[in-house]
Amino acid sequence: MMQFGSRILRVKPLRGIQRQLRDLNTGVLKEGDNEKRVSMVPAVAEKLIKQGYKLHVETGAGAASGISDAAYKAVGCTVGSRNKIIADSELLFAINPPPAAELPSYSGKMLVAWIGRRLPEGETYVKAATDAKVTLVDTTAVPRITIAQKMDVLSSQAKCAGHRAVLEGAYAFERFYQGEITAAGKYPPSHTMVLGVGVAGLAAMGTSNALGSVVRAWDVRDVSDQVTSMGGKWIKVDFKEDGAGAGGYAKESSAEFQQAQKDTFHKHAKECDIIISTAAIPGRKSPVLIEEYMVKDMKPGSVIIDLAAAGGGNCNVTKPGEKYTTENGVTIIGYTDLAGRMGAQASAMYATNMLHMVTHITGKAGAEAFMPNVNHALAEEKGDIIVKSVVCCKDGEAITAPPPPDPTPVKKKEPKAAKVVEKPDPGKEAMQQSLVVSGSSAMMIGASLGGDPGFMAMLNTFGLAGAAGYQVVWGVQHALHTPLMAVTNAISGLTAAGGLMCMGGGGGAMAQGLAQASVAISAVNIGGGFLVTKRMLDLFRKPGEEDHTVKYLLPAAGLAVAPFALPAAAPTVGTLSGLMSIGAIAGLSSQKTAQFGLALGVSGVTGAMSMTLAGVPASEFGTALALIGGGGAVGMGIGKSVSPMALPQTVAAFHALVGAAAVATCLSSYMIHPHAAVGHKVGAMLGNAIGGITLTGSLIAFAKLNGNMGSKPFNLPNKNMLNAGMGAAQLGMLGLFCATDSVGLGTALMYSTTALSSVMGVHLVGSVGGGDMPCCVTVLNSYSGWALVAEGMLLNSPTLTVVGSLIGFSGAILTKIMCDAMNRDIMNVIFGGMATPPPKKDSDGTVEEPKEHRETSVDAVADLLSDSKSVMIVPGYGMAVSQAQRAVADIAQTLKSKDIETRFSIHPVAGRMPGQMNVLLAEAGVPYEWVLEMDEVQDDMPNVDVCLVVGANDITNEAAETDEDCSIYGMPVIKVWEAKNCIFMKRSMAGGYADLENPVFFRETTQMLLGDGKSSCEGIAAALRTKLG
């Protein structure tokens, strides 16, 4: 059986190797002299042997953990020398990796150990293993997903370290831990402060409580509920700033907060007897929480156990690896092997982690499927995420860990009988993979036969830039998807560079007019796109945070001057412009670097425009500057006036400008060079076609999002055949265009392509319903990039090709994310709903009786909220329509001020554009630490007292999980019905964009607050201020 992704394949090994795989020779290595742990214990070894693994243990491997060689032999293991174990084994387990010098002896074998591949030392070791052709598995690299928790060695060893820290502290404290009343006197209990409530911190709390100490704890996250449930007291920093790094956003604590934090720790350090600090950051220096002046004020006999000593320590006077006593009698323990000091327990937990890992890979098939399943997982693009994450190198090639996996699909509560799935044919799959690679290669080779080296050079540039851009875009946070679309939209305004290249090139008045139009239209896009991006990012800036935009834009000034001052540097400026455009996307990976990313985008576009301007004939230079300045001014005027509510339709309108500019440039270039090479012709025709689709498709999207058109799809008869017919006609015209030398026929074909592609754009986007417009907008964003790619190939511009591929892949990835979040097939969205599900009918044709729901009032909701401990707010497009975001922010701030936990849960497709809810809430002043992605809070929903749903329907519809006939079945939704109380705020009981009834409306725990969202939220906010003071 082979498992990869969510699929399980059952395969039968070839007879010749079946016995070999069943008895997979597996070695267990002895650790170094200073390590007490061992990677395998007899109890776990016995289970592995039953699965078909043949266990060979190095002599004395378990001695330091109190496990004799005889104990291993008793369960069926063989014991031998290190050299024999290495020679006889195909799979070897260890905790600490063997010395790098020993790696050549593991060539062709798989070594499983604690590598730390993301750390500098780990990277060096992986390189050595790669050179030695060792298949290296890093046990610390399992992804942070639910299914992998049982394999997480970091957690299991941290638990041991936390427990051992308390024991070391108790030994050094030399007093009673719990309070005692004896004939010899009354003695108070010890007081313990735990800094960092992760796995180690929780373990330390539990053991300290069990020994009778009075525990208090702190963490950068607000985990007060966990601390309280463990019998501890939460330490609160007396400062109005949340220090949590929530929702994937970077934590940025102010200097004032850090000072208040240290004042708080100083106060508690004077009162406590034992401090256990656990705030370690892998690969980075540990944060300093306890400073020397605090230690000097602690009571004599106090103890500090610093679990972060390996990273320098949370206490700045910790000595890593040592235990010593200060002049004022405080014992500081900086041991870096606390887990190893519990050798037997830590070994048992590590070995169990290994058992779970191999069992996950093989399933019930056991050892015979281990190696084949690993190979399949690595070979498959959608192979098992755990295998792909832990394997560092294989067969002399390094393996890059994949990005974090998509959220686990929602499962039905009452699954029906599993459908019979046809058993995949591995041979057929191998052939399909081979044919895909062969076909792609053949197409590339075929393209080179056209005899146009310039075109092939651009194609190579496109492929390399696309690969780089593909990796960069995946790093962008969901909350920054709206700024991402805005900044890529602005960068796609580099279609202006194409127009500039055509200016002064001849071709007649029409050609020059089209070139000038392209420049002016594109300049609108550049000015408006960058200003809109800047406004959105400013919304996420914290109060009082300094804006460094002027400093960030210094490279732009240099790139603007360089092509004129140093003409020979123009190609280098083009290269830098492409790199900066890629850097602009990378900068949007976090709130901290987003402003710098925007500045890089501005610098990249400035350099590309300046480089192109330097090549414009002197007679056209003044005209070009006027067109750029005028268009840019118009764009900035639009960008300055647009409201966050209107961002989706504004972005769609900007996409239309890119399409229009691409069409104009392609027509102009052909008129100037009617007898160009085939590569030039292909670029002209493709840019024309993609630009036409983008132009009219974006206008339709704008009309639907702006309310100028109805949201329902066109659904014309035989619409799929219409799409196929128009596509075939486009290909036919492309073939004829490349073959003909007639200027008249070529011009007619170009104009025909413009007309036909414009009709296709109307039909493709018009056939998409309003509910799928978020996906459609991202598709159009991608189209604008492909149009720029075509323009780059047309004009032999590597810069345009690089930037266009970046934008194209950016839009494509956003489309994939959106379609997955909406359970939509991407081809259905692109081609106007090829497989629109039929409306659901009652099985017996009867009319269902109306269901009863409960309605509530503003005052009742305010009462419910004021009595809560935990509140979750789920905003939807209805909040945007009613412009209720400021009132919602007022509710959240009022609740927070009274220490009522208040969070926002954001669905990826809430609104009409990726990240729109994040932008609206930021505009209303909601700190981004309060705003979390759906998957971050989904599991906590049962603990929420009140879930307030503001204008959201489809993204909270339970039918997506329970009704297979529902059109949104399988779409991940926010499980608001799991909260103790759910309040829906809507105008009426009508369905959302999907026009589906929501079963949650009729649950016992649900109440409906019907009416205008803004008025209702303002009423709730006012009532809360009155009730809570």
List the catalytic residues: 877, 912, 993
Spatial CA neighbour of 177 closest among 216, 218, 209: 209
Q: Which ranges constitute the DSSP H helices of 239-322? A: 255-271, 292-296
Task: State the Cα–Cα distance between residues 916 and 541, nearest whole angstrom.
Answer: 16
Task: List the end-to-end C-alpha distance of the chain, in Å, as a whole number.
Answer: 63
- Contacts of the segment 898-903: beta carbons below 8 A, 24+ positions apart: 898/866, 898/1028, 900/865, 900/866, 900/868, 900/869, 900/870, 900/871, 901/222, 901/225, 901/869, 901/870, 901/871, 902/871, 902/872, 902/873, 902/930, 903/871, 903/872, 903/873, 903/930, 903/931, 903/932, 903/937
Greatest Cα pair distance, the chain, in angstroms, is 114
- Judge contact between 336 and 310, C-beta under 8 A: yes
Strand partners, 931: 904
Spatial CA neighbour of 459 closest among 470, 472, 448: 448
* 525-to-134, 639, 661, 800 alpha-carbon distances in Å: 52, 9, 10, 16
- What number of CA atoms fall less than 13 Å from residue 1003's CA on the CB side? 19
Secondary structure of residue 798 in the 3-state scheme: helix
Contacts of 252 (CB under 8 A, 6+ apart): 542, 545, 591, 592
Task: State the Cα–Cα distance between residues 728 and 734, nearest whole angstrom.
Answer: 10
Question: What is the pairing mode between strands 135-138 and 110-113?
Answer: parallel
Task: State the Cα–Cα distance between residues 913 and 925, nearest whole angstrom.
Answer: 20
Q: Count Cβ neighbours within 10 Å for each residue of 471-494 and write b for 16 or more, e otherwise.
A: ebbbebbbbbbbbbbbbbbbbbbb
Spatial CA neighbour of 604 closest among 820, 348, 410, 804: 804
Contacts of 263 (CB under 8 A, 6+ apart): none
Task: State the Cα–Cα distance between residues 983 and 949, nearest whole angstrom.
Answer: 6
Write down how long the chain is.
1029
- Judge contact between 901 and 869, C-beta under 8 A: yes
What the block records as the tokens of 104 is: 């050549």
What the block records as the tokens of 267 is: 């106060």
Task: State the Cα–Cα distance between residues 550 and 707, nearest whole angstrom.
Answer: 38
Residue with token string 């214990």:
41
How would you list the strands of the sheet with 870-875, edge to edge?
Answer: 931-933, 901-906, 870-875, 946-950, 982-986, 1006-1010
